[in-house]
């Protein structure tokens, strides 16, 4: 009984008590120290945990909702360098990346079958290399006419790319989303987009749309459908060699599951195909931020021809 009374007299732990200043006139406060402490703790929490902590009380809300916390969370989860500038608050960017959104969810959802988030990479320059093949040496034709370059070699150099962080997804889509009446199967699409895209008015109101810039057709049996998007400035980086070393990541010929490879400045996909005589049709699409705007999204779509 005595112990029970003694326990009752002890002060209980109060949840979510805001830190108090030791001395209101002092410039150095416990509160200031604990803000730094909890900011550091936040670096180890995922987005869901951060939101839960922010809802516990006003003080935690003010600490956790600071944009620097969400910037760190974004860059940590995406494993990319920080861009010089972003157009939106980091918490909104984090939400658009972590809520399961993809382009077919916004538009053409009825055509969509499945998708996989590959990851993020970084455009350090405004010039991209698009390629249907992942073997060296790459046949790059520097033509002013992108459509002709794609038609002749399956690769092209694309300029006016928006710099910064880009998100890469692999989409599986029902046919026909193409013009081939004979196609009754599915097609895979490597889709990359600038991190800001889903928050832009032009995308949300559908005034920005994808435009076909060219295609490449192989009129013989193919053993795989592959494609890559590279920051041309870094094409000779050592990390790029791993993308072209297909044995290290593309899987055995009997493995039909799609595979993907991502580096700081590139992304590539490859899907082994069953024996066929159909050939392969690859189509390339871009989305611009307005008629003369920067390229903000790229698609490489492939299907048996």
Q: What is the pLDDT of residue 140?
A: 62
3-state DSSP assignment of residue 101 = coil
Instruction: Give the relative orientation of helices 67-78 and 30-42 as an angle to the nearest 10 degrees.
Output: 20
Query: Is this model's pTM higher than 0.85 or not?
Result: no
CB 194 within 8 A of CB 87: no
Q: What is the pLDDT of residue 276?
A: 74
Q: Which residues of 141-171 are buried (b: 16+ CB within 10 A; e: fewer)?
A: eeeeebeebbeebbbbbbeebbbbbbbbbbb
Q: What is the pLDDT of residue 251?
A: 84
Q: What is the pLDDT of residue 138?
A: 67
The whole-angstrom separation of Cα 302 and Cα 278 is 12
Residue 205: Cβ-neighbour burial (10 angstroms; 0-12, 13-18, 19+): exposed
The whole-angstrom separation of Cα 89 and Cα 54 is 17
Range list of β-strands (E), the chain: 112-123, 128-131, 155-158, 164-174, 186-194, 210-218, 224-231, 259-263, 266-272, 280-288, 295-304
Cα dist. 83→74, 165, 179, 293 in Å? 11, 7, 39, 19
The whole-angstrom separation of Cα 132 and Cα 33 is 54
Q: What is the pLDDT of residue 12?
A: 39
Q: What is the pLDDT of residue 201?
A: 95
Which segments of the chain have a pLDDT < 50?
1-32, 177
50: tokens are 């951060």
Q: What is the pLDDT of residue 144?
A: 67
Q: How far is CA 103 from the centre of its chain?
A: 11
* Nearest partner of 161 among 257, 289, 48, 275, judged by Cα: 289
29: tokens are 């406060």
Cα dist. 298→2, 252, 267 in Å? 74, 28, 12
Q: DSSP letter at 58?
A: H
């Amino acid at each position: 009984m005595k112990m029970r009374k003694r326990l009752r007299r002890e002060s209980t732990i109060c949840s979510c008590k805001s830190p108090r200043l030791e001395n209101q006139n002092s410039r150095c406060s416990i509160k200031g120290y604990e803000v730094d402490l909890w900011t550091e703790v936040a670096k180890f929490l995922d987005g869901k945990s951060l939101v839960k902590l922010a809802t516990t009380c006003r003080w935690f809300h003010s600490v956790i909702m600071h944009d620097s916390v969400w910037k760190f969370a974004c860059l940590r989860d995406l494993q990319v360098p920080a861009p010089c500038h972003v157009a939106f608050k980091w918490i909104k960017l984090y939400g658009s990346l972590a809520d399961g959104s993809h382009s077919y969810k916004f538009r053409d959802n009825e055509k969509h079958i499945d998708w996989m988030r590959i990851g993020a990479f970084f455009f350090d320059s405004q010039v991209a290399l698009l390629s249907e093949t992942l073997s060296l040496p790459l046949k790059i034709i520097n033509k002013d006419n992108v459509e002709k370059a794609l038609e002749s070699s399956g690769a092209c150099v694309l300029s006016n790319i928006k710099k910064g962080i880009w998100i890469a997804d692999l989409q599986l889509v029902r046919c026909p989303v193409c013009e081939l009446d004979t196609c009754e199967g599915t097609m895979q699409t490597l889709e990359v987009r600038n991190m800001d895209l889903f928050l832009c008015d032009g995308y949300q109101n559908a005034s920005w749309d994808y435009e076909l810039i060219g295609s490449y057709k192989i009129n013989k049996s193919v053993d795989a459908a592959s494609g890559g998007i590279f920051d041309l400035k870094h094409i000779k980086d050592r990390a790029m060699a791993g993308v072209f070393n297909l044995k290290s990541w593309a899987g055995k010929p009997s493995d039909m599951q799609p595979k993907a490879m991502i580096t700081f400045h590139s992304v590539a996909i490859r899907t082994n195909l069953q024996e066929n005589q159909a050939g392969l049709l690859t189509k390339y699409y871009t989305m611009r931020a307005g008629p003369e705007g920067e390229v903000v999204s790229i698609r490489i779509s492939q299907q048996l021809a």
